[in-house]
Amino acid sequence: MKKVYLVGGGPGDPELITVKGMKLIQSADVIVYDRLVGRKLLAYAKPGAELIYVGKQAGRHTFTQEEINRLLIEKAKEGKLVVRLKGGDPFVFGRGGEEAIALRRHGIAVEVVPGVSSAIAVPALAGIPITHRGIASSVVLVTGHLAEKKEERLDYASLKGDTIVILMGVKNLPKIIEEFKKSRPPSTPVAIIEKGTLEEQRVITGTLEDIIERAQEAKLTPPAITVIGEVVRLREEIM
164 phi and psi, to 5 degrees?
A: -115, 130
Chain segment 159-202, per-residue pLDDT in tens? 999 999 999 989 899 999 999 999 999 999 999 999 999 999 99
Q: Where are the domains of the chain?
A: 3-113, 118-238
Q: What sign does the CA torsion over 68, 26, 225, 198 have?
A: negative
pLDDT at 152: 56
Q: Which fold has domain 3-113?
A: Cobalt-precorrin-4 Transmethylase; domain 1 (3.40.1010)
- Domain 118-238 fold: 3.30.950
Catalytic annotation, residues: 34, 56, 168
Predicted confidence (pLDDT) per residue in 132-170, tens digit: 999 999 999 999 976 455 545 689 999 999 999 999 989
Residue 6, pLDDT > 90, answer yes
Query: Which pLDDT does position 60 carry in this prediction?
Result: 57
* Closest residue by Cα to residue 17 from 95, 96, 90, 126: 90
* CA distances from residue 176 to 117, 144, 180, 229 in whole angstroms, order as listed: 22, 7, 6, 14
pLDDT at 151: 47
